[in-house]
Amino acid sequence: MAATPGQHVEGDRKHPVDETLPPFKMFTSGLQHVAAMYAGVVAPPMIVGPACGLSATETAFLMGASLFTAGIATLLQTLGFWKIGAKLPFVNGVSFAGVTPMVAIGKAQGPENALPIIFGAVIVAGVLGFFLAPYFSKLVRFFPPVVTGTVITLIGVSLLPVAFNWSQGGNAAAPDYGSLTNIGMAALTFVIVLVLRRTLRGFLQQISILLGLIAGTLIAIPVGITDFSVLGKSAVIGFPTPFHFGAPQFDVAAIISMCIVMLVCMTESTADMLALGKIVGRPADERTIEGGLRADTLGTAISPLFNGFACSAFAQNIGLVAMTKVRSRFVVATGGLILIVLGLCPIAASVISLVPLPVLGGAGIVLFGSVAASGIQTLSTAALEKGENALIVAAAVGIGLIPIAAPEFYHNFPKDLLVVLDSGISTGCLIAIILNLLFNHLGAKKGSSAEDTSSGIPQQRTAEGSSAAGVH
């Protein structure tokens, strides 16, 4: 039975990525993805809004727009059309890589022009990335297990400080930041998730993160760290009016900054697609990555129309897929629809935001740790005993940990370089790619293939849609 694009089969059975679940399971599993990414989606506009001189009401509007555009980008990735979309359970949302340059633009331009200039730069960066996607995707052969395993591990390790920050309360300026109450709630949620994951079976085990978040939130109510005031301030219906903050403006310096951000996002998304492909049993080949990057960049180009920012992969949701074993892309597409509804219904978004950050942090430790564990599992197949593979991992992990272990390490470097250097994932990925190229490609002895020392390069899919090695 021949498979159509995006519908690969094994015999007469659909691949788990292409399977649909019963409506209730689809909704709850999709909601779990939204709960895992919600804080990450609304955090950038919470930072950029005040930096651009926005009021609390306007910042809330920006947050709703980010949810709405994240939903659109996620649908482009999961469902796709033409040659757009990885068609994997891949969640997209606002990239943190753009926060620093956008804040700098906001402070330099003033309240009236800041957002129009940011949106103009994001549109140009998205269009540029869209046309670069076919060429960028050809780099997939430089992402063997020794590289992807290193990057996946760094993704998990880089996300853990986010969970630790949430566990302390999320706002370092708050008087209760790092209090015993906050950390205690995080620890309790952490234990609840572990117990649920260990004792439940079947579908309930798959949504153990969601159940843990619900349980933690309910316990947090009498503790006094759940804020219900946001419900009274939220409208029932709200649409992110196109160009709400004015028509886009095009500033050369801002465009250059956001184009650099776009390249960083494309690098991280490529690594994330390779990681997710391994986790779901459908290795991401050149065609998959090209479609995924097109969805990323198209979503980025469209987002400013609805007052959104640059979009890229959300690595925390890869951990959720790895932990729950729910591989259906339609589950994540359901999550994308939920994000769109939240963007159109501020009061519904407020309900999701009731989950206290310490509760989210406790669950996040498990989620992000799962990503790192997946990376270690990938490294176990990377033939570290061959050639210089162990040295590649050591150097890439060491460099990648610098922004995490010593956040001020690069403080004297030019600000434009910080877009890359402040991301341990980006720096670690670049180091791993360069060293693998030097040691396993350019440095390989004549007559021995690079694949021998780098332990496997993703193979191209055949015309029928299954990989040359077969669908696992």
Q: Bin 467: left if φ > 0, else alpha if -120 < ψ < 50, else beta.
A: beta
Closest-CA residue to 15 (of 286, 327, 287): 327
Distance CA 397, CA 425 (A): 9
Q: What is the pLDDT of residue 85?
A: 84
Residue 445 CB neighbours (<10 A): 9
pLDDT at site 234: 60
Phi, psi (degrees; rounded to nearest 5) at 11: 70, -125
Q: How confident is the model at residue 235, as a pLDDT?
A: 64
Interstrand relation of 13-14 and 92-94 (parallel, antiparallel or unpaired): unpaired
CB atoms within 10 A of CB 347: 16
Whether this model's pTM surpasses 0.75: no
DSSP secondary structure, 119-155, as one string = HHHHHHHHHHHHHHHHHHGGGGGG--HHHHHHHHHHH
Per-residue pLDDT of the chain (472 residues; tens, 9 = 90+): 444 444 554 445 678 888 888 888 888 888 888 877 776 777 678 667 777 877 767 777 888 888 899 999 899 988 888 888 888 888 888 876 677 677 777 777 777 788 898 899 899 999 999 998 888 877 767 777 888 788 778 877 877 887 898 899 877 888 888 899 999 999 999 999 899 888 887 667 766 777 888 888 889 888 888 777 666 666 667 677 788 888 888 888 778 778 877 877 787 788 788 878 888 888 888 888 888 899 989 999 999 998 888 888 777 677 778 777 788 889 889 999 998 988 887 776 666 667 788 988 888 888 778 778 877 877 887 888 777 889 999 999 999 899 888 888 888 888 767 766 776 777 887 888 889 888 887 755 544 444 444 444 343 333 333 332 222 3
